[in-house]
Structure 1
Amino acid sequence: MIDVAIAIDGESVNVTRTRLVGGDHNEDGDWVEGAPVTATIRAAIQPVKGHQLMDVPEGVRTEAGWMCWSRSDIDDDDTITASGVSYRVLFTWPRAEGGFYRAALGRLA
């Protein structure tokens, strides 16, 4: 059996992960987003194949065009930027084992 983490390491490049951290309600009760925090992580981004999206919610399937694998944590709504192209993390698959994260991405305009 192939060690997926080793395969991911072999295909990964440096990308930027941006995540909103914090956030709170102001005096009027309106939600104010937290501050963006960026980090350089290593990830492999590839075009999606149809069968890879079978367990993704239907609304996400139409937007997802790329898959991302990384040994760094990836959360829904993170932004991944690679080679000047930004993607939004639409869906992540929890991985209790294996030492890696997998996510469906949609390209941002």
Structure 2
Amino acid sequence: MIDVAIAIDGEAVNVTLTTTAAGSYNDDGDFIQGAPTSATIRAAIQPVKGNQLMDMPEGIRTEAGWMLWSRSAVAVDDQIISGGIVYRILFAWPRLEGGFYRAALGRLTK
């Protein structure tokens, strides 16, 4: 069996992962958006293939154009910046037994 984590390490490059903390309500009842936090992680980003689209929920298939593989934790709605292009994580598949995460990305910038 191929060790996917080792293959990811071989293809990964540095990208910026931006997560947003959970928001909260102040004493007046107004919602205060959580602060974004950025970190550099290693990830491989590749165009999505037809058979990979079948693993995604239908509403995501039309927007997803790229797949991300990383050994760092990622979650839905996190943003990835790679080569000046900003992507949003649309769907994530944690593979804890394999030591990696797979995610579907939608491009936010042209």
Q: Indicate the TM-score class for this superposition, using the shorter chain for normalisation.
A: over 0.9
Structure 1, residues 47-106: CA drift from partner, whole Å, max 9, x if none?
000111212111111000000000000110000000100000000013231000000000
Letter in 2 for 1:45: I
Q: CA RMSD in A?
A: 1.1
Match of 1:77 in 2: 77
Shift of 1:22: 3.1
SS in 2 for 1:22: coil
Shift of 1:23: 1.3
Match of 2:59 in 1: 59
Q: What is the rounded CA distance, in whole Å, between the counterparts of 1:28 and 1:49 in structure 2? A: 49
Match of 2:88 in 1: 88
Q: TM-score, normalised by structure 2?
A: 0.93
Percent identity between matched residues is 71
Shift of 1:28: 4.4
For structure 2, the residue ranges without an aligned partner over 5 or more in a row are none
For structure 1, the residue ranges without an aligned partner over 5 or more in a row are none
The residue correspondences of 1:92-107 to structure 2 (distance < 5 A) are: 92-107=92-107
Q: What is the rounded CA distance, in whole Å, between the counterparts of 2:103 and 2:96 in structure 1? A: 14
The alignment covers a number of residue pairs equal to 109
The farther-off stretch of 93-102 and 59-68 is 93-102
Q: TM-score, normalised by structure 1?
A: 0.94
The farther-off stretch of 30-39 and 45-54 is 30-39
SS in 1 for 2:6: helix
SS in 2 for 1:6: helix
Shift of 1:19: 0.2
Match of 1:18 in 2: 18
Q: What is the rounded CA distance, in whole Å, between the counterparts of 1:92 and 1:28 in structure 2? A: 35
